[in-house]
Structures are given as C-alpha cells and as structure tokens.
Amino acid sequence: MLGVLGVGFGCLVYVYLTLPDVRPLRTGNPTTTAFMELRAQEARAHGQAPRVVQRWVGYGRISPHLKRAVLVAEDDAFWQHDGIDVDQLRESIETDWTRGRFLRGGSTITQQLAKNLYLSPSRNPLRKLRELFIARRLEAELKKARIFELYLNVIEWGDGMYGVEAAARAYFHKSAAELSPEESALLAAAIINPRVLNPAHPSGRLLRRQQLILRRMGVVLPPEDTADELW
C-alpha cells in the first residue's frame, strides 16, 4: 500500500513540475498547437504535405451567435466553473468505470483548450490528469473571455482547418463576425467530429444537432465583447 501511494504521489509531482507556462497566452497567440503538430505528423506519415488553414480573429470580431452556439454544444456552464465541471466529470468517470474503458469526454472548454494546446487526444489517465492541472492553471492566469477566444481560434473545424474565421470563410464565404444563428449552430454542431461533419453540406445527423442547439441558444449568453474581459 505504501508503495502504491508513493508511486501515485510521484506521478502527481511529475505532472505538476512538467506543466507548461501558460502566462505568455495572456497577450500572445500561439503559433502552433500540439494538435496541429499531431495532424502534421499524420499527414507526413501518409506522404502528404501538412495543411494548416488558420486566420486569427479577436474575441470582439466573432459573432455572438457563434459564441452562444458553441457554449450550448460544448460547455454551457463555462462562465460558472473554474475550468473543471465537477458534476460532468463525475458522470464521465462513472460511465467509463461501468463500461471498463474510457469512452466519454466530459471536458470543459478550458480542458479542451489545454488538450489542443499541449497534449495528445489519448485517453491515458496520466494525460487526463495533466489536462486537469493545465485547465486549472489556464483559469488562474487568464480571463474567461481570453480562454474562449483562444479556444475558438485553435480548435479543428475540418481537415487542416483551425479556428472560426477559417471555418466561416471556407463553409459560408463570410467572416466570423457575420455568422447567422443557423450557420453558427451548424459550426458548433460539427465540433464533435469536424473531419466528418461538413457544415456546408450538412448530413441529417448534423441538421438534427443544429436544431437542438438553436432551441437552446437563447439560454446561454456570452458576456459583452469588451477589451477588459480579455486581459
């Protein structure tokens, strides 16, 4: 028992000491992410040139409809929690334990950002522990709106496509600021599987998710788009 506890404590210390410094994200945008690097490695392994389409856009230049839609689809308690939604995490762990394997995500937007920036999509428990620690560090160092801005600019929205501005222009030929509620709901609905679900040519599954999101978009509201929300 003492040996097990010692190993567990050692793992915790290792995870904590190897956490990335997130403070530069207060004022600087990342030039790449762990997820982009992973996709690049996958492309090269198949003899293809890595593809990255990304156009950074400020928080105030993203449609409020898109913000509402993403909050509804991914993390409707984002403005209330401190990086970890304990109730959702508990439900996810219970489901995984019952099934004997890691299936559910249960990740907040902050956790998803931590994974995208610094980690792999592996469901290894140690990787998940790092994700939780990094999420808490992001919440301690950055304003909520800055976390949301980063998330909306780095997440995958298609093969080699990252961020809402690139997605809005590719799928709807307009800027992220001009997205309608219907277009926003389609984009948010596609986050669950962005390399398969195409907002420009929505499948029945994607359209059903869009309608669910549209019905709830008035419930979850982002804050005012002011600069002091970011820094």
Average pLDDT over residues 92-118: 68
Q: How many domains does the chain have?
A: 1
Query: Is residue 11 one of the residues assigned to a domain?
Result: no
Q: CATH number for the domain including 187?
A: 1.10.3810.10
Instruction: Answer whether residue 18 is part of any domain.
Output: no
Q: Model confidence over 59-71: pLDDT tens digits?
A: 999 999 999 999 9
pLDDT of 110-137, one tens digit each?
999 999 999 988 778 888 899 999 999 9
- Residue 21 falls inside a structural domain: no
The rounded percent of the chain whose pLDDT value lies above 90 is: 73
SS3 content of the chain, % helix, strand, coil (to 5): 60, 0, 40
Does residue 178 lie in a domain region? yes
pLDDT score recorded for residue 9: 45
Cα dihedral 98→104→105→106 (10° resolution): -60
Does residue 1 fall inside a structural domain? no
Which residue range forms the structural domain that includes residue 112?
33-43+52-229
Which among 52-56, 91-95, 101-105 has the top mean pLDDT? 52-56
List, in sequence order, every beta strand (DSSP E) within 21-130.
53-54
- For the ranges 5-14, 42-51, 176-185, 222-231, the lowest mean pLDDT is seen at 5-14
Which of these, 226, 190, 175, lies nearest to 63 by C-alpha position? 175
Among 5-19, 142-156, 173-187, 207-221, the minimum mean pLDDT is found in 5-19
If you average pLDDT over every residue of the chain, what do you get? 86
Is 19 inside any structural domain?
Answer: no
Amino acid letter, residue 45: A
Residue 93 has pLDDT above 90, yes or no: no
Residue 9 belongs to some domain of the structure: no
Residue 54's DSSP bridge partners are 162
CA distance linking residue 209 with residue 22, whole number of Å = 33
Confidence of residue 14 (pLDDT cuts 50, 70, 90): very low
Is 90 a member of any domain? yes
Which residues make Cβ contacts (< 8 Å) with residue 131, sequence separation at least 6?
107, 111, 114, 115, 119
pTM equals: 0.86
Contact 113, 154 (CB under 8 A): yes
Neighbouring residues of 175: CB distance < 8 A, sequence distance ≥ 6: 57, 61, 165, 168, 169
Work out the pLDDT band at 227, boundaries 50, 70, 90.
low
